[in-house]
């Protein structure tokens, strides 16, 4: 499971997941429509296609899950072992 304030991999590099926004007050979560905001920091901001620098970027939940499958699997294993 991806958690707020955890490090995540993105197509733009490694960042920190800072928020997730869902429709209908979180009662209906879809991978495509859930918006995740990843913060990259001010020391090494990413570059957009000619639009300057940014320190955060919005990514779909589906994309984050696909790029972080190993992390998600390891967290599940650790949760089971800690129980």
Q: What is the pLDDT of residues 32-77, one digit of tens each?
A: 888 999 988 766 555 555 555 668 889 999 999 999 999 889 888 8
pLDDT of residue 1: 75
Measured CA to CA in angstroms, residue 71 lies from 25, 51, 62 at distances of 27, 31, 14
> In whole angstroms, what is the distance from residue 54 CA to residue 78 CA?
34
Q: Is 14's pLDDT higher than 60? A: yes
pLDDT of residue 42: 67
pLDDT of residue 82: 87
């Amino acid at each position: 499971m991806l958690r707020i304030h955890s490090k995540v991999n993105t197509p733009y590099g490694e960042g920190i997941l800072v928020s997730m926004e869902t429709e209908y007050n979180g009662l209906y979560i879809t991978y495509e429509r859930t918006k995740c905001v990843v913060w990259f920091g001010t020391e090494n901001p990413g570059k957009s296609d000619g639009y300057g620098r940014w320190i955060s970027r919005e990514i779909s939940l589906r994309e984050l899950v696909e790029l972080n499958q190993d992390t998600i699997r390891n967290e599940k294993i650790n949760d089971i072992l800690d129980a």
